Structure 1
């Protein structure tokens, strides 16, 4: 999830269903289990609806396709940078049965909602190399074990840190725990030029759901358990939220951190205003740019997120590509998705943007690892990443999480009260059939 990348986005209610995505529904899937994809037919011009392409990659990929498909041109439709607004516009398009959007670049947590509402087409599994892709990424594309989107990009949060400053302070390894992170900041402070200690995504939007879920998981708890039941009464959940709350209180997270989304935090890190930054892979290429846009190029490294007693757990993010039920020329749409999600094109995408591919082999490619030393860290992070709460009524759930977490971070509520209220809200959401 990103606000820009996946992470992010919110998913609306699913009618009477209130189950964990991916779990079997008792007696409700007999017709779905035998369903086969409908014919994806028609060749001709299509559109790709996506969030604002801050990477600058997509139009070049479209140009490559368009040059060899003169009668099947793809036009890029850029939606707002905010994932919440992207989702809203995609839903409005579907509810009016408009053919304006053909291919949808969707957040990984939207699959179930879009499929359940009949807004996207089921895809033929045998036309995608799913066995070569990361398991976690593939799981985000299915609804009741049927493929409704193609894995496109995956994502997991990582810890960006100023290696030059840690080296100067005699710190030889990045922090593995939250206490070590705070201790490192105290040692680094004299050489940090007033830089803040830690940043993430703490504005009230989907990024906060990711950061909150990560903190809870990194303390050894879960927002919901394996059965989809809220689990925030666990004392460890409070320890996770307390890390964020107390970090604001003691200045570990600078006051302006409450306004950070992905881009605000990225700019702060690149301007040398943060020692540590929780961020997605896309920041790597931008922060290492040598065109003068980054003050920290060559001065930082990447490590796993820290946790309460050891390495933490990242939130799983990413994007998938789906075909609108109401789009035209779905045959072209399928072929275009296969092109954009091919291993060869995903390698190019990685090289140009540092965004995370879904093919496992690319993480072990010596050429790529040399160019992007963080790839082994990212592969491990993605492999152990925790999905955002897989509640079918996800829109209601993420709104509740954002409201309560933000209240705790801003001091409107105590951590204990915020978690108690969130437990009540999520219990109602999950049980409201």
Structure 2
């Protein structure tokens, strides 16, 4: 099973492609000999047989459904996808259809690599909000699924410790959470909480900036998208990061591996902050004792990260090819295909219809809670071309604070780095 964030971690590298040159890409899949117009499509899915099987089905069905267009898929291993995109962008030869991590889309749109999708609003409005990539009021990307985070626990462990089981309507407050973790540590768990801090890259803003936002802070002022000052280093942010540092100082959490959910499965930790991609394995090992809990309310309402891999059309794709790419995307968003993705990859379907048909996320599905959490609490990362720098800056600052750095000065340094980048790029057009 794929961990979506293992791929999302490449976002910063992909962002450098858009920043190294702003010439538009050109499509290289034109028709010849009077046959159907070829629509070249690139994915990062090589090595993922479950996902490739769904793409093969969609493409085969679409190509057989009409004679005007032929989608031709090329798959890249995760490790070489970045290099392929970089080379194609430099040569102005990007494919017509390409997938990308949701948070990086604004950078690509700003740099001129993408054209608006121009899909029917009836389609995009039917998707999870975090499965639709919007920049400056236009839709540039859309995805078949999303991921979501939760806190895994064992009902038997919480009951024994006398800890209230939180619900979507009444999640834990921060005071309750602190008390619960303290009780669990006192009951014998050396490290009761796994926050996933051994991971790296995009996991950090995806996992921890929602906690920051639940506290009242943010990565950037989302109103103007011109500065992080007051958002990332304001009083609410200082309060959150002081708690974050305390969690490690008190021994509630640590940054030791392994990455993933194994320590929870082995009952080495009582609470695991992790994603839907680890849910099936946990369910298989823990069974009916598994609880999929909502995020903690740090004071301004619970939040979790949203926005994962999505599809776009390159700006160099000629009008005829773009029409074909659009036709393919419209065709591909049928519920049956989204359900197939959800059940083969254990990810949240982007439509209610697809979720209803899913064996995991339907009304009686064992992982239905994730679909509920995504609808209710998911928040996309800021839709700004400066996001790649924001992401890496946030990761460094949070890791420094975790390791004992002064909270206020570390956040001020992060804000300065982000604001300097924005100014050096003329505000990214804002």
TM-score by length of 1: 0.77
Q: What's 1:358 paired with?
A: 350
Matches within 5 A, 1:5-84: 6=8, 9-10=11-12, 11-12=15-16, 43-44=37-38, 46-50=40-44, 56-65=49-58, 67-68=60-61, 69=63, 72=70, 74-75=72-73, 77-80=75-78
CA distance in 1, matches of 2:315, 2:300: 45
SS state of the match for residue 295, structure 2? coil
Is the CA contact (8 Å cut-off) linking 1:163 and 1:299 kept in structure 2? yes
CA distance in 1, matches of 2:212, 2:188: 29
- Cα displacement (A) at 1:51: 5.2
Q: What's 2:224 paired with?
A: 227
**Residues 133-166 of structure 1, C-alpha deviations (whole Å, 9 max, x = no match):** 233433x2x3333332223223332222222321
2:268 paired residue among 267, 273, 280: 273
SS state of the match for residue 338, structure 1? helix
**Residues 244-296 of structure 1, C-alpha deviations (whole Å, 9 max, x = no match):** 21111111112405xx6xxx12333334333222223222223223xxxxx33
Q: What's 1:399 paired with?
A: 392
Is the CA contact (8 Å cut-off) linking 1:222 and 1:237 kept in structure 2? yes
Matches within 5 A, 1:415-426: 415-426=407-418
CA distance in 1, matches of 2:219, 2:50: 35
1:242 aligns with 2:236: no
1:120 paired residue among 107, 111, 114: 114
Q: What's 1:296 paired with?
A: 286
1:379 aligns with 2:369: no
- Cα displacement (A) at 1:306: 0.6
1:107 paired residue among 87, 101, 104: 101
Is the CA contact (8 Å cut-off) linking 2:219 and 2:232 kept in structure 1? yes
1:137 aligns with 2:131: yes
**Residues 296-331 of structure 1, C-alpha deviations (whole Å, 9 max, x = no match):** 343322122113347521122222112345679656
SS state of the match for residue 269, structure 1? helix
1:343 paired residue among 324, 332, 335: 335
Is the CA contact (8 Å cut-off) linking 2:17 and 2:86 kept in structure 1? no
2:298 paired residue among 266, 291, 308: 308
SS state of the match for residue 429, structure 1? helix
Distance change >3 Å, CA 227–CA 98, structure 1 → 2:
closer
CA distance in 2, matches of 1:299, 1:115: 45
Q: What's 1:181 paired with?
A: 177
1:283 aligns with 2:278: yes
Instruction: List alignment gaps of at least 5 residues for structure 1.
Output: 17-39, 290-294
SS state of the match for residue 90, structure 1? helix
CA distance in 2, matches of 1:190, 1:224: 38
Is the CA contact (8 Å cut-off) linking 1:46 and 1:75 kept in structure 2? yes
Q: What is the count of residue pairs matched by the alignment?
A: 393
TM-score by length of 2: 0.77
- Cα displacement (A) at 1:363: 5.3
Distance change >3 Å, CA 65–CA 159, structure 1 → 2:
same
Distance change >3 Å, CA 166–CA 397, structure 1 → 2:
same
Distance change >3 Å, CA 301–CA 353, structure 1 → 2:
farther
CA distance in 1, matches of 2:4, 2:224: 26
- Cα displacement (A) at 1:394: 1.8
CA distance in 1, matches of 2:52, 2:334: 17
1:151 aligns with 2:143: yes
1:320 aligns with 2:318: no
CA distance in 2, matches of 1:47, 1:256: 39
Distance change >3 Å, CA 309–CA 124, structure 1 → 2:
closer
Distance change >3 Å, CA 156–CA 87, structure 1 → 2:
farther
- Cα displacement (A) at 1:418: 0.9
